[in-house]
């Protein structure tokens, strides 16, 4: 089985930088994904890390360290529209299912 841990809530002001950490335990790690979900909406894909290192996509970056079973999502230049829930999700070899963390609610204040 898998288990993932991420903080439940983060609050920050517009323009700030937020880092959401995710630690995981899994028997056959394949990759770590990040998803954003606004209230009432479906998850949208943000980033994926299959190898160690940093992946940058605009204001969002994601990092993975497989040896530490750890990754993070970095949100830069926060905007009000970034207020949402963010989920890390692990994929395993063999079935490629996604196991989601409990989610981090990010609240951006003016």
Partner 1 sequence: GAVVSQHPSWVICKSGTSVKIECRSLDFQATTMFWYRQFPKQSLMLMATSNEGSKATYEQGVEKDKFLINHASLTLSTLTVTSAHPEDSSFYICSASPGEAYEQFFGPGTRLTVL
Binding residues vs partner 1 (CB under 8 A): 33, 35, 40-45, 48, 87, 95-103
Closer residue to partner 1 in complex, CB, 17/102: 102
What Å distances lie between residue 32 and 6, 12, 57, 60, 98, CA to CA?
A: 13, 24, 15, 15, 9
Smallest gap from residue 47 Cβ to partner 1 (A): 10
Residue with tokens 């841990």: 5
List the alpha helices (DSSP H) in the chain: none
Smallest gap from residue 14 Cβ to partner 1 (A): 24
Closer residue to partner 1 in complex, CB, 32/75: 32
Closer residue to partner 1 in complex, CB, 21/99: 99
Smallest gap from residue 39 Cβ to partner 1 (A): 10
What Å distances lie between residue 60 and 3, 41, 48, 82, CA to CA?
A: 24, 20, 11, 10
């Amino acid at each position: 089985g898998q288990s993932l841990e991420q903080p439940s809530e983060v609050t920050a002001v517009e323009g700030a930088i937020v880092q959401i950490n995710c630690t995981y335990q899994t028997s056959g790690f394949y990759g770590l994904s990040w998803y954003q979900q606004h209230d009432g909406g479906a998850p949208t894909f943000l980033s994926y890390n299959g190898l160690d290192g940093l992946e940058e996509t605009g204001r969002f970056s994601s990092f993975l360290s497989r040896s530490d079973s750890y990754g993070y999502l970095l949100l830069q230049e926060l905007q009000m529209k970034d207020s949402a829930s963010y989920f890390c999700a692990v994929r395993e070899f063999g079935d490629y299912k996604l196991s989601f963390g409990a989610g981090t609610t990010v609240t951006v204040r003016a």
